[in-house]
Structure 1
Amino acid sequence: MGKITIRIIVFVLALGICAYALIQYGFFSAKDAGFVSIKLRKPDFHLEPWVYVLYAHIITAVLSLVIGPFQLFLKPANLKRVKRHRMLGYTYVLSVSISGLVSVYLSLYATGGWVAGLGFLLLDVLWVSATWISVNKIAVLGDIQAHKEWMLRSYALTFAAVTLRLWLPVLLILYDGSFIAAYHVVA
């Protein structure tokens, strides 16, 4: 597969997950979402304030998922593009930072219990860390190549939202339809 094909696939998958999130949580009630409906079956689960934290995560994660391909694949050749790259970069870093922080709270209530929660907590820590290491590489050290490499790692962790949704149906088949077993593995 060529670089252009991979870039198109990444962009289409990122937009697909963003569209799914916007439709599921923007047009329908969060109570109707598959993951949320599982949580609502537990008598000790309270939708509020959890759902507000979920919305903060969704908005910021979707923003970072959309910004990523533009930052990774479009090279800032002139001053105008450099300024745009920096502005999108600031937005991306802020979005990842907010989403990663609120996701720590969400990981405490992860579907699948502590196993999935631990997986998501580790993802949150790595996601925010890779992003800020990338910022350090460019802002403090001026190392453009290291900045690119760490930002690619950051976006790969951002893209976990996509890969989770791609792997989950496969794992459901492998685990004979056991959602919790499949979710433990994918988390």
Structure 2
Amino acid sequence: MFKKVSIRLVVSFLAFVLLAYVIMQYGFADPHKAGLITQKLRKPDFHYSPWIYVLYLHIVSACLAVAIGPFQLFIQPKRKGIRRHRILGYTYVLSITASGLISIYLSIFATGGWMAGLGFFVLDVLWVLSTWVAVRKAVNKQIQAHREWMLRSYALTLAAVTFRVWLITLTPLFGGPLEPPYRLSAWMCWIGNLIFIEVLIRLSRKKAVSKSLTA
């Protein structure tokens, strides 16, 4: 029980931190001063428009998914809350679908070049795919499988958080240009999340089997 509460608190905290950072950086501060944008503006062939408008669409839709995730994953819907759960679920799925498709465009202009762009592209494909697999499981009344695939989906949603964690951690280690740690972070941000959530899912399955055998 303590472990579940701890995971919920950590995930909710990470989601809150990301939302606060995005609102401050892109809502109140000058977006031109954002670290990743300043790197792009140094390149003479970079076109700020329409890239910045696509970025804002991605930010809004992705942040919506980040905000909805904890309510869907950690609050078990009661009979009266099923309708709200479904509405939030539809919003979550549409947000990820829109953000994932938009991100394909953004991955073409990734700071780390094609290697970073490929990392983000694979993330986008897996993000949208895992979310729609979860939807299919729900339609087929496979509730446990639906929950597991939603956990994978949200793990990929939080790649927005872990990407920045990896980038902050790796940049001093490389001690040079931003591109090398950026490329590595573009892959590690979602690979690490998937490994972590897969371990949790499998541990949860084993625990469920143990309970059924001892019951």
User: TM exceeds 0.5?
Assistant: yes
Greater gyration radius: 2
1:161 and 2:160 aligned:
yes
Normalising by structure 1, we get a TM-score of: 0.96
The CA deviation at 1:177 is 4.4
The CA deviation at 1:178 is 3.6
| 1:22-171 to 2 correspondences below 5 Å | 22-78=23-79, 80-139=80-139, 141-171=140-170
The size of the alignment, in residue pairs, is 185
| Corresponding residue of 2:212 | none
The CA deviation at 1:5 is 1.1
Give the counterpart letter for 1:165 in structure 2.
R
The CA deviation at 1:106 is 0.2
Equivalent-residue separation in structure 2 for 1:112 and 1:167 (angstroms): 14
Equivalent-residue separation in structure 1 for 2:64 and 2:94 (angstroms): 10
- Residue 109 of structure 2: SS of its match in structure 1? coil
- % identical aligned pairs: 57
Give the counterpart letter for 1:39 in structure 2.
K
- Residue 91 of structure 1: SS of its match in structure 2? helix
| Corresponding residue of 2:3 | 2
The CA deviation at 1:168 is 1.3
Give the counterpart letter for 2:138 in structure 1.
I
Equivalent-residue separation in structure 1 for 2:44 and 2:178 (angstroms): 19
Q: Contact (CA 8 Å) 1:107, 1:120: kept in 2 or not?
A: yes
Identify unmatched segments of 5+ residues in structure 2: 187-215
Q: Which runs of 4+ in 1 moved over 4 A?
A: none
The CA deviation at 1:167 is 1.4
Q: Contact (CA 8 Å) 1:30, 1:51: kept in 2 or not?
A: no
Deviations 1:147-177 (A, max 9, x none): 1011000000001011111111211122124
Give the counterpart letter for 2:109 in structure 1.
Y
Question: Which one has a larger percent helix, Structure 1 or Structure 2?
Answer: 2
Equivalent-residue separation in structure 2 for 1:22 and 1:92 (angstroms): 19
Equivalent-residue separation in structure 1 for 2:181 and 2:18 (angstroms): 19
| Corresponding residue of 2:174 | 175
- Residue 2 of structure 1: SS of its match in structure 2? helix
- Residue 161 of structure 2: SS of its match in structure 1? helix
Normalising by structure 2, we get a TM-score of: 0.84
